[in-house]
Amino acid sequence: MSHELTWLLVAIPAVSAAILLLGGKATDAWGHLLGTAAPLASFVCGVVLFFQMQGLHAEERSETVHLFEWFSVGSIKVDVSLLADQLSILFVLLITGVGSLIHIYSIGYMAHDPRRRRFFGYLNLFVASMLLLVLAADYLVVFVGWEGVGLASYLLIGFWQHKNSAAVAAKKAFVVNRVGDIGLSLAVMSMWALFGSSAFTTVNAGAEGLSETWGTLLGLMLLLAACGKSAQVPLQSWLLDAMEGPTPVSALIHAATMVTAGVYLVVRSHAIYEVSEAASTAVVIVGTVTALAGAIIGCAKDDIKKALAGSTMSQIGYMMLAAGLGPAGYAFAIFHLLTHGFFKANMFLGAGSVMHGMNDDVNMRHYGGLAKYMKVTFATFAFGYLAILGIPPFSGFFSKDKIIEAAFADNTVIGLCALLGAGITAFYMTRLMLMTFFGEKRWKQDVHPHESPAVMTGPLVVLAALSLGGGALYFAGHWIVDWLEPVVGHEEHHPPVSALVMTLITLAVVAVGIVIAVLRYRRDIPSEAPARVSPATTFARRDLYGDALNEAVFMRPGQYSTRTLVWLDNRGVDGLVNGLAALFGGLSGRLRRFQTGFVRSYALSMVFGAAFVVVALLAVRLS
């Protein structure tokens, strides 16, 4: 394989970002073109690399490209190396492929924004960081990409920072992610202490020697990091607020790529999770809880983007669940990650297209009957809808079914939860479809819904095709399982009933979800959200009280304690000092009668001090 291609992958968008962000207004005219060309160029590199890799024997496909030594201190040495293997190349293709489509779409979506060039600069920064994240061969270098995507996310959520809500959401995302970073930091520190290195090769080799306690601790630290980045319970609260960012950002960062980095981290660290049953179980539980929590939140949102964000949480929960199942689930976690990348990016961009035609209104209660006005958007969105529901032959059918199967094979309760989640997914997605595209029109007089320009619908069509065809990664002879096996291993799972029965049960549950939604939402939908609703609806609307909990447990006590500390510092610590100073001030006030000011009294004290030294030294010398 070609070494240059691997580092060019990262370097191209990084250089482009630097040009766009440092070039200033001079690059305004063509900034969006350069910004789009960069991920496309990376995509070409990725495709070439992929085919080169495919031409090789399975054992030879993994290759580390050593770039330079970052630093070495004591016995620790950290290299900046890139690892191109079967796992990372799939991510490369997803990031650059879907990323390029979203860049193209953004040319149209951001056409009227005076800061479009900067938007593309940030997007390129994101792509470069995300590629570094998945290509790095050392956990500390992963951390650089990890935080780089966090920074890009911060900048893009807050892109319209003249709105207070956007600025607050951006900060929240960064800070919550930092809580996750505690986990990653501690994990790398532990690796240094345990193995004397944080390189993948060393950690993988040393993991066998881990005690179960250390295995569990490391697994939990990495899980904490994954929870932050992938918006898993209990660090989920930032993702819904992150919808303040422009919609292409929600599609690229907060649906298709960055939020799946936690799944990548867990899969990449499989050697550690194999040591600890407890840590793997924790991953499964976090995934299952989030899969349900996200789905429930998705049911109650009237904001189209927030409904989709709840759905993203939930789908990543499925991936986490699969990743926690070990070798039986790794390949399916990645498979679902890819198909979800296709259909969720498709639907987010579709939502953006709807908003574009609706004067940027996001409230689905103001939509209705849009299928007639936005035919392409509707058709492509429908492909995404069928895919996420898992209707055959759409891609989600293959990927989600496999996860539900594997979950049942592992544990019936987890399996039932996964199945229930599929039903709820069918409900909230049908609700979203009905409220947006069907029924009576509910928009106001001055709104004129219209289809988006070709530069936006083009990417939608491609993503719709991928939503349909993405399943080929699996049904073409279990390709993805075999492809990933040399990296993450594979174990066949054995569901309690045959796969066909499993599929039929799942489809039946999905059908129930659809029917309930149709029965509920085919009637007229009020333009204002009803205020008097059941406690369950309120629970879901308030994001399961996640924010309320954070506020009560962390924010308020935190604010009180900082305020108290500031007061104490001024009055207590400094007060004591000032009290002493006042005392000395009184004394020096008398001295001052002999002196004219501080400067001279200082000079005097210097003289006294010097005299003291001389006398003291002489005294010792003479003694």
Partner 1 sequence: MNIGWLTYLLLLPFVGAIATMAVPKAKGLLAKQVSLVFSLLTLALTIVIAIGYHQNGAADYAETHTWIEAFGAHFALGLDGVGIVLVVLTALLTPIVLLASWNDAQQGRWSEKSFFAWILGLEALSLGVFAATDVFLFYVLFEATLIPMYFLIGGFGGAQRSYAAVKFLLYSLLGGLLMLASVVGLYVLSARAGDPSYLLTDLIQLDISQNTERWLFLGFFFAFAVKAPMVPFHTWLPDAAAEATPGTSVLLVGVLDKIGTFGMIRFCLGLFPNASEWATPVVLVLALISVLYGALLAIGQTDIKRLIAYTSISHFGFIVMGIFALTSQGMTGSTLYMFNHGLSTAALFLVAGYLISRRGSARIADYGGVEKVAPVLAGTFLFAGLSSLSLPGLSPFISEFMVLAGTFSKHRVIAVIAVVGIVLAALYILLMYQRLMTGPVRDGVEKLKDLNFREVFAIAPLLVLIVGLGVYPKPVVDIIKPAVESTMQRVGVTDPAPEIPVTEGQK
Q: State which of positions 160-179 bind partner 1 (CB under 8 A).
A: 161-164, 166-168, 171, 174-175, 178-179
Comparison of 501 and 566: residue with beta carbon closer to partner 1: 566
Strand pairing partners for 77?
Answer: 72
Comparison of 454 and 576: residue with beta carbon closer to partner 1: 576
Q: Is 189 in the site for partner 1 (CB under 8 A)?
A: yes
- Per CB under 8 A, which of residues 126..145 are in contact with partner 1? 140, 143-144
Cβ atoms of residues 320 and 259 within 8 Å: no
Contacts with partner 1 by CB under 8 A: the residue count is 75
Q: Helix or strand or coil: residue 58?
A: helix
Omega of the bond leading into 393 within 30 degrees of 0 (cis)? yes
Comparison of 52 and 202: residue with beta carbon closer to partner 1: 202
Least separation in angstroms between CB 59 and partner 1: 15
Comparison of 204 and 595: residue with beta carbon closer to partner 1: 204
Taking the C-alpha atoms of residue 312 and residue 529, their distance in angstroms, rounded to an integer, is 23
Least separation in angstroms between CB 584 and partner 1: 7
Among 193, 501, 536, 549, binds partner 1 (CB under 8 A): 193
Among 33, 151, 278, 285, binds partner 1 (CB under 8 A): 151
- Per CB under 8 A, which of residues 456..485 are in contact with partner 1? none
Single-letter residue type at 570: N
Comparison of 73 and 519: residue with beta carbon closer to partner 1: 73
Comparison of 193 and 504: residue with beta carbon closer to partner 1: 193
Taking the C-alpha atoms of residue 114 and residue 127, their distance in angstroms, rounded to an integer, is 22
Among 605, 607, 608, 611, binds partner 1 (CB under 8 A): 605
Cβ atoms of residues 149 and 123 within 8 Å: no
Taking the C-alpha atoms of residue 623 and residue 619, their distance in angstroms, rounded to an integer, is 6
- Per CB under 8 A, which of residues 493..522 are in contact with partner 1? none
- Per CB under 8 A, which of residues 256..315 are in contact with partner 1? none
Taking the C-alpha atoms of residue 494 and residue 74, their distance in angstroms, rounded to an integer, is 49
Comparison of 194 and 404: residue with beta carbon closer to partner 1: 194
- Per CB under 8 A, which of residues 545..564 are in contact with partner 1? 558, 561-563
Least separation in angstroms between CB 189 and partner 1: 4
- Per CB under 8 A, which of residues 54..113 are in contact with partner 1? 68-76
Phi then psi for 64, rounded to 5 degrees? -100, 130
Q: Are strands 63-73 and 76-84 parallel, antiparallel or unpaired?
A: antiparallel
Among 497, 512, 581, 582, binds partner 1 (CB under 8 A): 581
Q: How many CA atoms lie within 13 A of 167 on its CB side?
A: 4
C-alpha pair distances (Å), 538 with each of 65, 151, 296, 297, 302:
52, 33, 11, 10, 13
Mark the segment that binds partner 1 (CB under 8 A) among 298-306, 333-341, 479-487, 577-585.
577-585
Comparison of 271 and 407: residue with beta carbon closer to partner 1: 271
Comparison of 183 and 423: residue with beta carbon closer to partner 1: 183
Q: Is 195 in the site for partner 1 (CB under 8 A)?
A: yes
C-alpha closest to that of 261 among 155, 158, 143, 172: 143
C-alpha closest to that of 286 among 344, 222, 234: 234
Comparison of 159 and 483: residue with beta carbon closer to partner 1: 159
Q: b/e map of 26-58 (b: 16 or more CB within 10 Å)?
A: ebeeebbebbbbbbbbbbbbbbebbebbeeeee
Mark the segment that binds partner 1 (CB under 8 A) among 51-59, 328-336, 480-488, 609-617.
609-617
Q: Is 35 in the site for partner 1 (CB under 8 A)?
A: no
Q: State the CB neighbour count (10 A cutoff) for residue 622.
A: 6
Least separation in angstroms between CB 604 and partner 1: 12
C-alpha closest to that of 356 among 31, 157, 156, 110: 110
Q: What is the largest CA-CA distance in the chain?
A: 106
